[in-house]
Structure 1
Amino acid sequence: MEKRSDTTGALPLSSLRLLASPLQLTYSYIWQVIRQRNVKQYGKVEEFVTMVTQTVPDLISFKQTAQLVLGLRARIILDLLQKEGPPDSKAIQTLINKLKVAGSSGKDTEVEKSQTNFMVLVQNLLKNPAEKKRFFQEVFPVQYGTKFDTALQALTAGLVCKLEQVLPVPNLSQLGAMISAEPSVLVACGGFIPDSRDLKTLLLHQQAKGLLGIKATISSSVGNCVLSSLAFRPKPVETLPPTAAAAATARIPKALRSNNQ
């Protein structure tokens, strides 16, 4: 069960989803995974990068795409190889089989060479434990250390920035135009009204940070007409008692009474 934070701690995911769009959360997840060098999560990042770059190849250059995708895939494979005990050859071989970047054949000789050489390296490390030990002690820290990780961070940041340009968060006016064009969409949006507990958690969290004390952008008198309309009481229509009404009718000439009837 998801924990709910106090007003000053970290927001629970259910409330965080109200503050940021799904895409913003995705971008943040990707960036934090790469920044923290959380290799165990690289698989999800690689799948996302592959999907968006195959859908829109011009987001970043082919070489940049290849470096990012290959870099992520290589680190996943090396992480499996680096574990204590016999490596999971089957899992590693599966990853090697999907190492190559789609459409790379004949497109960039440097990319092709890098793919081929890395595949040969991995096969050698799988077959030779002594070579594997030497590689991770001497070669890995140099070739796949800080410089390598920094390059992955830069490539990831570039891709995320490009995606933010291609998929900007619409403002209220733009979003309003989108959902009001189709009545069924507008009605369906009512289903996105958040759970009251999640919204309460978010509001209290923001209040604790002092954000609710920001000066209002509208005049304090705006909306006063609502109260004045509710307070308005029209004068009651005067109604004559039955006897007075009969007397008034009697004073009307008979001819006029006949016409009215």
Structure 2
Amino acid sequence: MGRVSGKISVQSYLKGNGNMSSLVDIAYSKIRENIMTGIYMPGSLLSENELAQLLNMSRTPIRGAISRLESEGFVSSLKNRGLFVKEISYKEILDVMEVFLFLEEYSVDSVIEKGLIYNIEELNKHLEQQLDAEKKDDYPAYVQSSMMFTRSMITSANNQTMLQIMDSVKDKLIHFGIVNWKLTPHQKHYSANLLNKAIYEAVCAEDYVEVKRLCKEAYLRNRERFIRSGIQ
């Protein structure tokens, strides 16, 4: 485990006299962003004093931010040691992927049974952003665009509760993907580009059976890979 270093910009704070609630929001956003993008990698040990100094604020809003991050499962406080950035397990990610599969399949069923439609233009936009991110080797942008492609699919079901469920867990999948990308530079990444391209083509052809097959096949492929990695 290593301690984190590096200056964090808090210009939005320095420009104003924000109240305690806004300072907590700023601290939460900055720390969370660094966790999500892998600047603070799993296993990193942070300290309240260090974070307060980097963010140019007192420890009180830092503690409020830490409490929120703990409730989301990104960090864990260690008594007399500091803040530990948690690793997201294969089991947890597989559970999230299973939820995504259910939501994707339900969106297809809704289109078929309720006469709803997919937003072809929006799907194409996110797909093009994915492909462009691969050309630029911008993995974080690729992961975000891939997630928005899936979200666009689920939006077609016209069920706000389902979207809220997805939004509550999607960041863990994004975080997991970025960390895995940083830890395995020798492996091939960007696999969702081929998958989403095939899904997009099937949606355009209104071959919804194929859309469900592609989603299920991708889930089973990832499940098998995780099992080989030692998931119980």
Shared fold per TM-score greater than 0.5: no
* Higher relative contact order (CA closer than 8 Å, sequence separation 6+): 1
Return the structure number with greater strand share.
Answer: 2
Taking structure 1 as the reference length, the TM-score comes to 0.26
Larger radius of gyration: 1
